[in-house]
Amino acid sequence: MGKHKFSTFIVLGLLIASIIALDVYRQYQFGSEKGEIVLNVLYTSEKKGWINSIAPEFPEWFSNRNPEKKVRLRFEIQGTRTSMLSILSGESKPAIWSPAASVWIPLFDWAWENKFGDSILNYNQIKSLVASPIIIGTWKSFQEENNFTSWQDLYTLADINLKLAHTSAQESNSGFMAVLLEVSAACGKPPDQILLQDLENTTIQSWLEKVESKAVLYGTSTGFLAKQAVQLGPSAINVVILYENLIIETARDGEAFAKWGENLVAVYPDEGTLWSDHPIAILNASWVSPEEAFAASEFEKYLLSKEVQLQAVPFGFRPGNETLVNDTDTINEMQQVFKTESGVSLNITIPRFNTPTDGKLLDRIPDLWLKTRATTLERDEDAEYWQVGLELSTILQLTLGTLIILAVFRKRRRVRK
């Protein structure tokens, strides 16, 4: 009995020590030094590799510019829609919010104003950090066979052999933007000219239904979707809407060529496209102190500096700092990454669309997708994609079959008794 109690005390002691150690570690990680500014940054996973590579140098950069101050970064990574809802609910209270694209800025501001009656954003401050256009990804052989070059061509391909994949417009930035671009193609006007009545137009809805009916996979993560396209191959998915940087990533990985003898390539739609431009927004919120706002503005300057912007290029991103467009070092760096053998083009000549500014309209995009999406695909809560669901008749047949088996089993048990 004594040994049992002694063992219990040892376990409890270890548990308490672990809790204390975890608390000490959290204080060290998140900052507890007197006078230290803790800068809370909520951003999306697409740029995680770049952020992780440059973040460790920021505290020293900051201290060199501000000798009397110290700063510590505290990061939180969420999907764009989730991060927006997290701020609206009060669950997250960052000083900096960086969604995957500027299309979310007016939607978030509209939702915040509807809920709290004021604005949380300063539009003059918001700048793009890095950028990657939404492109039509396809296999090189499929593009050559069908010679498609536009969003409108997807409608034509739906009559032939389209096997489409994109992420959920409810859960993912690229899926949200893909549906917005489909609407743009269906109504023949750029995204910033789309009206609420266009979303209610049955002709436009029919256009979307025809294209979306050819969807074979809806992902919840764009990176995972690109990997699925590579693993499943050209016969399973022949068109996938995603970011340009993921085309570069799949080519660099080499799995596609090793398995299928070809790579995914980017089609830059003739009409134009939206860009995932990763804006940085310093929130005008009650929980952001003047010191945190100052540190946030310094972090923005750091991220937009030439040295830090160049470090984003190997990750397949184009610089957000437009002053670097004609910079020799930037061009040289980009020429090493944006090349034909990686399935992309260095120089993009198609129009760059402006995003809609009507938050109410943007709020309706996921609803429109739910109305027009492929009904044979269902959300798998344990996976990162939507999969083919069972038809109602099949479910009824399986249920009836199960009931018959149970009835026979119970009858046999009674006979044996």
Give the separation between CA 317 and CA 309, rounded to whole angstroms.
9
Domain spanning 35-129+277-325, CATH architecture: 3-Layer(aba) Sandwich (3.40)
Predicted pLDDT at 26: 42
Mean pLDDT of 195-201: 97
What's the pTM value of the predicted model, to 2 decimals?
A: 0.83
Asked if residue 100 lies in contact with residue 93, where contact means CB atoms within 8 angstroms, the answer is no
pLDDT surpassing 80 at residue 262: yes
Give the separation between CA 229 and CA 164, rounded to whole angstroms.
10
Share of the chain above pLDDT 70, in %: 82
The residue behind tokens 């939702």 is: 111
pLDDT tens-place string over residues 335-363: 999 999 999 999 999 999 999 999 999 99
Residue 40 sits at φ, ψ, to 5 deg, of: -85, 125
The residue behind tokens 């260095």 is: 346
Q: Which residues contact 134 (CB under 8 A, 6 or more apart)?
A: 174, 177, 178, 181, 241, 242, 243, 244, 273, 274, 275, 276
Six-digit token string for 169: 């417009």
Q: How far apart are the first and last CA of the chain?
A: 47
**Nearest of 67, 66, 68, 86 to residue 76 by alpha carbon:** 86
pLDDT surpassing 90 at residue 400: no
Residue 236 sits at φ, ψ, to 5 deg, of: -95, -45
Cβ atoms within 10 Å, residue 91? 12
Give the separation between CA 251 and CA 260, rounded to whole angstroms.
12
- Alpha helix stretches (DSSP H) within 278-364: 290-303, 306-310, 328-335, 359-363
Predicted pLDDT at 378: 59
| pLDDT confidence band for 376 (50 / 70 / 90) | confident
Residue 161 sits at φ, ψ, to 5 deg, of: -145, 40
Give the separation between CA 48 and CA 43, rounded to whole angstroms.
8
Which residue(s) pair with 167 in the sheet?
219
Predicted pLDDT at 54: 98
Mean pLDDT of 284-308: 98
Predicted pLDDT at 29: 43
Regarding predicted confidence, which is higher, 387 or 227?
A: 227
Predicted pLDDT at 3: 53
pLDDT tens-place string over residues 22-67: 443 444 444 445 679 999 999 999 999 999 999 999 999 999 999 9
Asked if residue 238 lies in contact with residue 142, where contact means CB atoms within 8 angstroms, the answer is yes
Predicted pLDDT at 14: 52
Instruction: Return left, alpha or beta for 254; rule: phi > 0 is left, psi -120 to 50 is alpha, else beta.
Output: left
Give the separation between CA 89 and CA 84, rounded to whole angstroms.
9
pLDDT tens-place string over residues 99-141: 999 999 999 999 999 999 999 999 999 999 999 999 999 999 9
User: Where in the chain do CATH 3.40.190.10 domains reside?
Assistant: 35-129+277-325, 132-276+342-388
Predicted pLDDT at 35: 78
Predicted pLDDT at 386: 43
| pLDDT confidence band for 375 (50 / 70 / 90) | confident
Predicted pLDDT at 377: 63
Give the separation between CA 44 and CA 99, rounded to whole angstroms.
6
Six-digit token string for 152: 């409108």
| pLDDT confidence band for 183 (50 / 70 / 90) | very high
Q: Strands 70-77 and 264-267, how do they pair?
A: unpaired
Predicted pLDDT at 12: 53
Q: What 8-state DSSP symbol labels residue 4?
A: H
**Nearest of 167, 243, 247 to residue 212 by alpha carbon:** 167
pLDDT tens-place string over residues 170-179: 999 999 999 9
CATH number of 132-276+342-388: 3.40.190.10
Q: What 8-state DSSP symbol labels residue 313?
A: G
pLDDT surpassing 50 at residue 308: yes
Which H or E run contains 414? helix 392-416
Give the separation between CA 202 and CA 206, rounded to whole angstroms.
6
Write down the mean pLDDT value for the chain: 88
pLDDT surpassing 60 at residue 407: no
Rounded to the nearest 10 degrees, how much is the dihedral formed by the CA atoms of 54, 265, 354, 82? -60
